Amino acid sequence: MSVNYIHADGIPVEDDAPRAKPQRNVAEAMLRGMMCRCPSCGQGKLFSGFLTVAPVCQSCGTELHHHRADDAPPYFTITIVGHIIIPAMMAVEMMYRPAVWIHMVLWLSLTVILSLAFLRPVKGALVGLQWALYMHGFDPDAEDDLPVPEPVPSPR
């Protein structure tokens, strides 16, 4: 508890309310992430590999290693690709009635291509969302998101 000011009656008043953080534009951060750019400045590269997020932005120095995208990017990618492939597959089947092997070649390859094309922008958008909403380690006032575990003594 910290005393921030004294009331007119001479009684100290404690103010433990969290300080307001500057508002971050969520849509802009997500769009920058989709473009595989730093959600903070929009200049530096977000990824150091195909899906490996760079630990720090090379342009502005924002730490990006705090993200916790985990399984969300593949989940959203599957949902997006499924909503594209299934109606297209149904339309082609109803209009042309192609052989099964044509369906297999066309839709399997298109599914793989679209999944690989969408996965990186979706992950970038999620990292941008986490940055904009001060989630996980992106909040400078928060405690460590994942505390370091205590070392376990080795059995002798």
pLDDT tens per residue across span 5-23:
555 566 655 555 566 788 9
3-state secondary structure of 103: helix
Instruction: Report how far residue 126's alpha carbon sits from residue 34's, in angstroms, rounded to the nearest whole number.
Output: 8
Mean pLDDT by 10 residues, the chain (156 residues): 54 61 94 97 96 94 90 97 98 97 97 98 97 89 66 71
Per-residue model confidence (pLDDT) at position 90: 97
SS3 sequence of 2-69: CEEEECCCCCEEECCCCCCCCCCCHHHHHHHHHCCECCCCCCCECECCCCCECCECCCCCCECCCCCC
Per-residue pLDDT, 149: 60
pTM over 0.85: no
What pLDDT, on the 0 to 100 scale, is given for residue 46?
A: 97
Domain boundaries, the chain: 21-138
Q: In the prediction, which pLDDT does 15 show? A: 56
Render pLDDT for 34-46 as a digit per residue (tens, 0 to 9): 999 999 999 999 9
